[in-house]
Amino acid sequence: MRDTCNYKLYFITNNVHKVEEVKLVAREYSICIEQAAAPKIEIQSNDLEPIAINAAIKAYSSLRKPVLVEDAGLFIESLNGFPGPYSSYVFKTIGIKGVIKLLNGIQDRRAYFKSVVVIIAPPAFIIEEGIVYGVIASQPRGNKGFGFDPIFIPEGLKHTFAELSIVEKNMYSHRAIAVRKAFTRLRDILKI
């Protein structure tokens, strides 16, 4: 089945899981998503917002087509927000095992996932965020999703993100929340 597109956005990312998740939300808005290979240059910052804005501006400058950039992180309360904006690097080095070790013996398991979405599609320049609160599981569970999904249990659920299908994850996730807000605004501004 071919998607009906009212509008096309270039998603600057190397993460195919993110593309799948965002594509499914975009379909609700008749927006098509194409993964784009433009280099994503990220600055260092303790906040996601400047990272995403900067990356989007650079991508738009080189591509000159409507771009979507998304940056996300897992913020663990008892670790002062670690791994935060560096979640991907931390996942690749110490991994889930390392994060579980750091939380060993710590009662406070609270954490949240945050996503910042930036769309540059003149005349629209949209910045939206989504947050989902939850707790870090004692052991990883599930094999869906990516990154720290196997140890994140969203509030009100018993399952980790990695135990949910994409459709289910999109009902709760930080990324789906941010993307829905952004697409709603985009639709209003561009009348698509």
The token pair that represents 137 in the structure block: 């599981």
Closest CA to 38 of 66, 22, 19, 58: 58
Min dist. Cβ of residue 91 to a copy of itself (A)? 11
The residue (of 41 and 171) whose beta carbon lies closer to a copy of itself is: 41
The β-bridge partners of 110 are: 135
In this structure, the number of other CB atoms found within 10 A of the CB of residue 167 comes to: 10
The residue (of 88 and 170) whose beta carbon lies closer to a copy of itself is: 88
Three-state DSSP at 91 gives helix
Min dist. Cβ of residue 92 to a copy of itself (A)? 7
Min dist. Cβ of residue 62 to a copy of itself (A)? 15
Q: How far is the C-alpha of 17 from the C-alpha of 21, rounded, in Å?
A: 6
Is residue 71 annotated as part of the catalytic site, yes or no?
yes
Q: How far is the C-alpha of 172 from the C-alpha of 127, rounded, in Å?
A: 20
Three-state DSSP at 40 gives coil
Question: Which is catalytic among the residues 3, 47, 71, 188?
Answer: 71
The token pair that represents 101 in the structure block: 């070790």
Cis peptide before 123 (omega within 30 of 0): yes
Which residues lie near a copy of itself (CB under 8 A)? 41-44, 46, 51, 79-84, 86, 89-90, 92-94, 98, 101-102, 104
Spatial contact of 111 and 77, defined as CB atoms under 8 Å apart: yes
Min dist. Cβ of residue 109 to a copy of itself (A)? 15
* Catalytic residue list: 71
